[in-house]
């Protein structure tokens, strides 16, 4: 039975989000739970300790006290410094991305943690706890892509009179890809959207989110990427390792100083040359192409992102505390009884 909920301060590099804002904490307190908030957990997102105290939370100085709660809710997957807090029977609710984090999966399973992932919770065919952050990450991808083009090839997304606009290729037109395409279109770039789901292509085409669409295939991606100034990777198969769609040979054909933003890096990346980067060190160059592969992109807009995440998470958190077997949490349970229990995640990890 869950009596207490813990809200730790995030530990991942550059991560300023917090999983619950004061209004979400108020809902949990009203629902009858003791909420323990680690001091300064919300400061990066503009929420002070006294904001949390005012809604009935107990603010505690250290991470250990928060992790001692029955149910811990946080934004990013626990970092190695936090694994020492894992224990039998602890319930954890967070982004886990276990297909790309085999060591974390092992640590959770061997310590007997019951781990529920935001990103695999399914409702009405969508991913309601991933969508708000994909929206933020997608919008951000267009901004950082434009920014690094200035440092690389020097191409401006919108071009100029007599000069063609930049060519942007977005792979995966789901929530993140659609917002990235809208951002790039908003800056007047030419945007090609690629997906395996023809209905998504049809919708993007009809709505003018993109200037062209392509059905996903190795050949189509190779050709589109070769002519692109900016490639944004946002393909996802829920729970699985990201499909590897942009191959090294495709990157070789890009013009020097072009940019790749691989949002799917949190699931292992959909670009062969992508490897995880951090907010402190967000880019590297490979094959003459600038790669931006930050695994927690929304962390740089902590106020907007925390409020959006918190609004989506709060009702599910209360449901989890009340009834972990509820159908409203479908797909979220990843680790239980010492095993990886989500079939797609288990397959990705070959467990």
Ligand X SMILES: NC(=O)c1ccc[n+]([C@@H]2O[C@H](COP(=O)([O-])OP(=O)(O)OC[C@H]3O[C@@H](n4cnc5c(N)ncnc54)[C@H](O)[C@@H]3O)[C@@H](O)[C@H]2O)c1
Residue 263 touches ligand X, criterion: CB under 6 A: yes
For ligand X, give the closer residue by CB, 35 or 92: 92
Binding residues for ligand X, how many (CB under 6 A)? 37
Q: Which one of 150-158, 192-200, 246-254, 316-324 is the stretch in contact with ligand X (CB under 6 A)?
A: 192-200
Provide the mask over 131-170, with x wherever binding to ligand X is found by CB under 6 A and - wherever it is not: x-xx--x---------------------------------
To ligand X, the closest distance from the beta carbon of 137 in angstroms equals 3
Residue 216 touches ligand X, criterion: CB under 6 A: yes
Q: Which one of 6-14, 158-166, 289-297, 338-346 is the stretch in contact with ligand X (CB under 6 A)?
A: 289-297
Crossing angle (nearest 10°) for helices 175-186 and 131-151: 40
Partner residues linked to 340 by β-bridges: 335
Tokens of 197: 């789901």
Q: Which one of 3-11, 49-57, 234-242, 319-327 is the stretch in contact with ligand X (CB under 6 A)?
A: 234-242
H or E element that contains 107: helix 102-110
Residue from the set 171, 283, 308, 348 that interacts with ligand X by CB under 6 A: 171
Residue 147 CB neighbours (<10 A): 14
Residue 234 touches ligand X, criterion: CB under 6 A: yes
Report d(CA 45, CA 18) in Å as an integer.
7
Q: What does each C-alpha distance from 158 to 133, 183, 229 come to in angstroms?
A: 26, 11, 12
Q: What does each C-alpha distance from 84 to 78, 337, 338 come to in angstroms?
A: 10, 18, 16
Report d(CA 222, CA 203) in Å as an integer.
23
To ligand X, the closest distance from the beta carbon of 50 in angstroms equals 30
To ligand X, the closest distance from the beta carbon of 84 in angstroms equals 26
Q: Which residue is nearest to ligand X (CB)?
A: 174
Q: Which one of 2-10, 55-63, 239-247, 313-321 is the stretch in contact with ligand X (CB under 6 A)?
A: 239-247
For ligand X, give the closer residue by CB, 166 or 176: 176
Strand, helix or coil for residue 350: coil
Residue 212 touches ligand X, criterion: CB under 6 A: no
Active site residues: 97, 266
Report d(CA 74, CA 279) in Å as an integer.
19
Q: What does each C-alpha distance from 339 to 112, 179, 206, 237, 247 come to in angstroms?
A: 8, 36, 44, 21, 33
For ligand X, give the closer residue by CB, 8 or 193: 193
Residue from the set 3, 48, 84, 197 that interacts with ligand X by CB under 6 A: 197
Strand, helix or coil for residue 141: helix
For ligand X, give the closer residue by CB, 165 or 177: 177
Q: Which of 11, 5, 69, 62 is nearest to 39 (CA)?
A: 62
Partner residues linked to 289 by β-bridges: 286
Binding site residues, ligand X, CB under 6 A: 119, 127, 130-131, 133-134, 137, 171-177, 194-197, 200, 216, 234-237, 242-243, 245, 263-267, 294-298
């Amino acid at each position: 039975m869950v009596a207490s909920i813990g809200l730790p301060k995030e530990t991942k590099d550059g991560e300023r989000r917090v999983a619950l804002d004061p209004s979400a904490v108020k809902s949990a307190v009203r629902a009858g739970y003791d909420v323990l908030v680690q001091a300064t957990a919300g400061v990066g997102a503009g929420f002070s300790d006294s904001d949390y105290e005012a809604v009935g939370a107990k603010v505690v100085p250290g991470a250990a006290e928060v992790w001692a709660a029955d149910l811990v809710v946080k934004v990013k997957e626990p970092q190695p410094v936090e694994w020492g807090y894992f224990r039998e029977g602890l319930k954890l609710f967070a982004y886990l991305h276990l297909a790309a984090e085999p060591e974390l999966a092992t640590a959770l399973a061997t310590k007997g943690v019951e781990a529920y992932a935001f990103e695999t919770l399914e409702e009405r065919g969508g991913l309601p706890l991933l969508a708000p952050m994909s929206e933020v990450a997608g919008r951000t991808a267009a901004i950082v892509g434009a920014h690094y083009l200035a440092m690389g090839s020097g191409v401006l997304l919108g071009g100029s009179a007599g000069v063609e606009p930049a060519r942007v290729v977005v792979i995966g037109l789901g929530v993140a890809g659609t917002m990235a395409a809208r951002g790039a279109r908003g800056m007047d770039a030419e945007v090609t959207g690629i997906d395996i789901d023809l209905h998504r292509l049809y919708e993007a085409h009809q709505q003018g989110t993109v200037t062209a669409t392509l059905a996903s295939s190795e050949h189509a991606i190779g050709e589109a990427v070769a002519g692109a100034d900016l490639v944004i990777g946002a393909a996802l198969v829920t729970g699985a390792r990201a499909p590897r769609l942009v191959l090294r040979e495709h990157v070789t054909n890009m013009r020097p100083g072009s940019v790749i933003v691989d949002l799917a890096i949190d699931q292992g990346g959909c670009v062969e040359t992508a490897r995880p980067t951090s907010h402190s060190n967000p880019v590297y160059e490979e094959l003459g192409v600038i790669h931006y592969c930050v695994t927690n992109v929304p962390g740089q807009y902590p106020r907007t992102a925390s409020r959006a995440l918190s609004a989506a998470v709060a009702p599910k958190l209360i449901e989890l505390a009340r009834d972990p077997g509820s159908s409203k949490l479908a797909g979220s349970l990843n680790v239980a009884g010492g095993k990886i229990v989500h079939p797609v995640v288990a397959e990705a990890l070959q467990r």
